[in-house]
A = this chain, B = another copy of it.
Amino acid sequence: MVIISEENKVVTLINVFTVEPENQQKLVELLVEATEKTMKNVSGFVSANIHKSLDGERVVNYAQWRSREDFEAMVKNPEAQKHMKPIAQIAKADFHLYEVADTFELS
């Protein structure tokens, strides 16, 4: 169970991929493969959560890392970079690191 909370001691990566609808499922598969084969074994990995938009135009990876430093080390990891190449060929990524500012739930 992946939990969103202001009290979680993680940094959140939200990576928004813009993709042609005909490539959306392929992109999901590449992200799943990258996560299973590489990311989840990288030091500092906490979670990855792959989302596909109902209109086919976006894929979002909502991911959690232990720290900004762990995330930045992963970006420079050659094995991780190998997975990013085919992804970059079919999608445009907009990624930023975030902190949780506030959360609300149905009471």
Which A residues fall within an 8 A CB radius of B?
A: 1-5, 11-12, 14, 16, 28, 32, 35-36, 39-40, 45-55, 57-60, 62, 68, 94, 96-107
Partner of A103, one of B11, B50, B54, B55: B50
A6 — nearest CB in chain B belongs to which residue?
Answer: B49
Q: How far is the CB of A31 from chain B (nearest CB, A)?
A: 8
Cα separation A40 to B94 with both chains bound (whole Å): 29
A-B contacts, 16 listed (Cβ < 8 Å): A2-B103, A2-B105, A4-B4, A4-B47, A4-B49, A14-B62, A28-B102, A35-B102, A47-B106, A49-B103, A49-B104, A50-B103, A51-B100, A53-B96, A54-B96, A54-B97
Interface contact B106-A49, CB-CB below 8 Å: no
